[in-house]
Amino acid sequence: MLETTTGKGTQNIDPKTLIPHRAPMLLIDVISFLDKEAQVIEARKTVREDEHFIQGHYPEFQLVPGVITTEMIFQTGAALIGALMGSEMDVGDYVPVISRANNLKFKNMILPNDEVHLSVAITEKVGPAYYLKGKATVGGKVAASVEFACVMAPNPSTGTKQN
């Protein structure tokens, strides 16, 4: 994937370079924009008809489960935190963990073949906790929005200890 820098932001980043998620639970295709200074990120996910989370979820009327939509937003936020932490510590030694979700709203459905645009901004950082606000849109319409908090927890598989 070609990474480019234009103006203040970076575009076309492989999310696997910023978060530990992998298939089938990697739910973002590309980081389409990242501005570390402004602490904002945008990503995209094209929902395929054969996605594991579509199978069996309302088989007669397939739609993306709300929990998957929020996970897309959470992963986008984790990628932002990973980008910001990259120079501070080895991101592989820590995993992003959601510690709070507030004001979750679902406004429109996400269907197979939809391209989901995700945007997340950090609103505050207090100690190890990051407070974020994110949304998922399809065709310019908000599908879901949420305010959430995330902490970087030690990754037990690397032997990292809690500070």
16 phi, psi to nearest 5 deg = -65, -15
In the annotation, is 57 catalytic?
yes
Measured distance CA(118)–CA(80) in Å, rounded: 12
> Which single residue is written with the structure tokens 């929902």?
47
Q: CA distances (Å), 158 to each of 55, 86, 133, 162, in order?
A: 34, 17, 30, 12
Please report, to the nearest 10 degrees, the dihedral formed by the alpha carbons of residues 156, 25, 119, 59 taken in order.
-150
Which of 21, 52, 57, 117 is catalytic? The answer is 57
Task: Please give the positions annotated as active site.
Answer: 57
